[in-house]
Amino acid sequence: MSISNDLYPNASLPLERKDSGVPYVRQGLHVESYNDFDPLRHVIVGIADNQHIPEACPASNEKIPAGSPMRGGKAGRRTQESIERANECLNGFAKILEDRNIIVDRPGAVDWHERITTPDFSISSGFGVMPPRDCLLTMGKSMLMAPMSFRSRYFEYLAYVDLMREYFESDPNCMIEQAPRPRLSDDSFRMDYVAAYEYLSDAETMERSLRKEYSTKETDILFDAADVMRLGKDIFVQHGLTTNLAGIRWIKRKYESQGYRVHTLSFEDNHPIHIDATFCPLRPGLMLLNPNRPLFKGQREIFEKNDWEIVEAVSPAWDNPPPLCYSSTWLSMNTLILDHKTVCVEASETGQMEQFDKLGFDVVPVDLRDAYAFGGGLHCATADVWREGTCEDYFPNQFSGAHSLEHWEY
């Protein structure tokens, strides 16, 4: 498929390949990451090029408020002005990282304008490729493309296929992988729930969420990579709108056989989507918790029994997210940590910057708010390729039943 460069000025160029089609090796390239705080050496930063607002689908309906124009009223390409401004922010962020000698890659071009049709569903367009964190899970030396639940994001992994192929060729120990592809047919969702959802009050959606009842059923294996928090040997996964129990079971079977320990986490949140604006590791021994989304009873235990401190994030600077944004104001705590002492924070989030300063971090302000609507904050807009460091055991004090999946079975 040939794609106009005018629509994708920030996408990475097609790979240079040998006659056989094998990509040339990028010397020194290394894939490895076990957490979100060791020194960052190589990262992917998303792009806003040609991003679309797709029509709503069963999974996205649950996240987007009933009255929002993003339910379909505004379906179509985002305005050129907003795309250019978002790219200005994302490119500025990439430059800040490169100036610190961090290697930055950008996703490749995929035609998001095309209608997506599979044997199981059809939707007006793709989404875009601003938040690589949702799609890519770097676990040690493996990079895995996640089975996401929004129909518009079904083919998003294609934007990373060339990069992954190059990583595979350049680092002889790197593995590139894909989770089982979901079907996302109407059978994958509680369609009655999706219809009823329009009329539920906040209290009712909270009640459902506390019962761990979402629009996704257990038909497909579903998870977004941004629901997975990596802390060395321990992996914590949030069950919510974008990750079902089958997804958690799959993560558990895959990674526990490699020596990791997988735990579930749940928060009092009526729209639990992505853990990275809810509970964020800052450095070994220190977590940042969203005060509006407390941990379920008993879930602090593993942190407390291993001497981790949990601090509550300060309130965001803004009362509302920007227009046409899928995320909440809590993107204030969605930061990119560069090493144990340095953190990138959105530049308008002065309170959050002050809190990090008091916690002993050097704060790097990054102008990104005008890119929020395209898929999130600084953590969402990135995916780790390489962080220095090894797979540490930060939770040597394990105990039986700590966050076991069975607790939520129904």
In the complex, which residues of this chain contact ligand ABU (CB under 6 A)? 226, 273-274, 276-277, 327-328, 330, 334, 376, 380
* Helix, coil or strand: residue 181: coil
Structure tokens at 62: 């649950």
Distance CA 365, CA 372 (A): 15
Residues 69, 192, 152: CA angle, nearest 5 degrees = 45
Distance CA 346, CA 338 (A): 14
Nearer to ligand ABU by C-beta: 50 or 335? Answer: 335
Q: Report the nearest approach of ligand ABU to the CB of residue 318 (Å).
A: 12
Q: Report the nearest approach of ligand ABU to the CB of residue 134 (Å).
A: 7
Nearer to ligand ABU by C-beta: 32 or 149? Answer: 149
Q: Report the nearest approach of ligand ABU to the CB of residue 273 (Å).
A: 6
Distance CA 10, CA 48 (A): 8
Nearer to ligand ABU by C-beta: 83 or 313? Answer: 313
Q: How far is CA 123 from CA 44, 79, 185, 188, in A?
A: 27, 20, 11, 15
Structure tokens at 365: 């302000």
Q: Report the nearest approach of ligand ABU to the CB of residue 152 (Å).
A: 15
Nearer to ligand ABU by C-beta: 90 or 391? Answer: 90
Residues 40, 279, 320: CA angle, nearest 5 degrees = 100
Nearer to ligand ABU by C-beta: 31 or 45? Answer: 45
- Supply the DSSP symbol for 223: -
Active site residues: 224, 274, 380
Q: Report the nearest approach of ligand ABU to the CB of residue 132 (Å).
A: 12
Distance CA 274, CA 133 (A): 10
Q: Which amino acid is at 81?
A: E
